[in-house]
């Protein structure tokens, strides 16, 4: 596979928004535990500017990162925003003073969250807002999300949101949401070793809907595999570059948002878009999930 500099492009359904398939996730720009300011504020600004200078035009963020920290850094680094930059944010959580992650999914919470994102990003309208379901650990929570999606649909009608997405959801919740409004993307936990969403990815691909894996490199439990390391050695790449390249090959609707607070690491991640991976290697890597010991990522 060789899909160009940043993995080729993807156009969100029913939209003029078009992005490179390798983007950037801003979560790591906040301080330790995604709380407070970064240790190196100038370095955080430099990472964002390097990403955009390298062709990245898809940035994933949330106003509960910090809280408010990553959005404020994005605004400082990039505002006024370059034409074509797509900023995707998410709602559904809050960070009280103890630093915990708590649900924030009432109509009042969601409405306030949209206005917080608009203010801290310096925008009049948000490109895409994902409603994130706060489940157990990093898995989706069960139950209806109709009320929350309906609130976002109303905010869209008011002109505050262009498109609506979902995060940390089940296939049934996607179907429920689609009965209320168009869904532009789904952001769930998925990587080489954690492939519970294989069927959902294929279904979304048939509909032209983006699938954005969070923890594409394993998250708090980084991917470790002798097969992955062996393939990386043969390709002259890092294991993480190979893991990202596999995701690009997995389905054309997959968009990547690997995060980092390092310019050097960012450059390594972006280079995965130029990595050529043969069908035989793709098949070899695909067997990692079957051999992996189940873990909570």
Query: Does 256 fall in a domain?
Result: yes
Query: Does 244 fall in a domain?
Result: no
Task: Output the pLDDT for position 294.
Answer: 39
| Mean pLDDT, residues 59-67 taken together | 97
Task: Output the pLDDT for position 296.
Answer: 34
Task: Output the pLDDT for position 293.
Answer: 42
Query: Does 239 fall in a domain?
Result: no
Query: Does 67 fall in a domain?
Result: yes
Q: Is the pLDDT of residue 141 over 90?
A: no
Task: Output the pLDDT for position 220.
Answer: 55
Residues spanned by the domain of 45: 9-220+251-261
Query: Does 138 fall in a domain?
Result: yes
Q: How far apart are CA 34 and CA 67, in angstroms?
A: 8
Query: Does 234 fall in a domain?
Result: no
Q: Write down the mean pLDDT value for the chain.
A: 92
> How many folded domains does the chain comprise?
1
Q: How far apart are CA 290 and CA 296, in angstroms?
A: 16
Identify which has the larger pLDDT, 83 or 142. 83
Task: Provide the CB-side half-sphere exposure for 179 (13 A, CA).
Answer: 9
Q: Is the pLDDT of residue 243 over 50?
A: yes
Question: Which residues 6+ apart lie within 8 Å of 179 measured at CB?
Answer: none
Confidence of residue 295 (pLDDT cuts 50, 70, 90): very low
Confidence of residue 140 (pLDDT cuts 50, 70, 90): confident
For tokens 């994902």, what's the residue? 130
* CB-neighbour burial class of residue 86 (10 A; exposed 0-12, middle 13-18, buried 19+): buried
pTM (2 decimals)?
A: 0.94
Decide if 194 is catalytic.
no
Query: Does 238 fall in a domain?
Result: no
The pLDDT tens digits for 158-206 are: 999 999 999 999 999 999 999 999 999 999 999 998 999 999 999 999 9
Both tokens of 38, joined, read: 């970064």
Q: How far apart are CA 48 and CA 259, in angstroms?
A: 10
| Mean pLDDT, residues 110-118 taken together | 98
The enclosing domain of 34 has a CATH number of 3.20.20.100
The pLDDT tens digits for 244-292 are: 999 999 999 999 999 999 999 999 999 999 998 999 999 999 888 765 5
SS (H, E, C) 212-237: EEECCCCCCCCCCCHHHHHHHHHHCC
Query: Does 73 fall in a domain?
Result: yes
Which residue in 65, 131, 194, 211 is the catalytic one? 65
Both tokens of 235, joined, read: 């390709």
Task: Count the residues in the chain.
Answer: 297
Task: Output the pLDDT for position 197.
Answer: 97
């Amino acid at each position: 596979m060789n899909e160009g500099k940043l993995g080729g492009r993807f156009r969100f359904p029913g939209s003029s928004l078009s992005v490179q398939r390798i983007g950037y996730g801003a979560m790591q720009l906040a301080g330790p535990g995604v709380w407070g300011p970064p240790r190196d504020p100038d370095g955080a600004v430099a990472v964002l500017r390097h990403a955009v200078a390298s062709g990245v035009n898809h940035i994933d963020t949330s106003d509960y990162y910090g809280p408010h920290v990553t959005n404020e850094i994005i605004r400082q680094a990039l505002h006024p925003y370059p034409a074509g930059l797509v900023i995707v944010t998410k709602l559904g959580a809050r960070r009280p003073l103890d630093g915990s992650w708590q649900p924030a999914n009432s109509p009042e919470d969601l409405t306030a969250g949209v206005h917080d994102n608009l203010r801290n990003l310096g925008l009049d309208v948000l490109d895409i807002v994902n409603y994130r379901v706060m489940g157990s650990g990093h898995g989706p929570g069960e139950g209806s999300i109709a009320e929350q999606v309906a609130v976002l649909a109303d905010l869209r009608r008011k002109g505050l949101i262009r498109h609506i997405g979902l995060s940390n959801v089940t296939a049934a919740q996607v179907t429920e949401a689609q009965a209320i409004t168009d869904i532009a993307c789904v952001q769930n936990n998925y990587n080489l070793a954690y492939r519970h969403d294989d069927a959902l990815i294929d279904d979304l691909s048939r509909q032209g809907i983006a699938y954005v894996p969070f923890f594409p490199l394993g998250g708090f439990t980084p991917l470790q595999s002798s097969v992955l390391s062996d393939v990386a050695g043969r390709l002259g790449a890092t294991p993480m570059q190979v893991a990202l390249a596999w995701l690009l090959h997995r389905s054309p609707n997959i968009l990547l948002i690997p995060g980092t607070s390092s310019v050097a690491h960012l450059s390594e991640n972006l280079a995965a878009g130029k990595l050529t991976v043969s069908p035989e290697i793709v098949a070899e890597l695909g067997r990692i999930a079957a051999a992996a010991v189940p873990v909570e990522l």
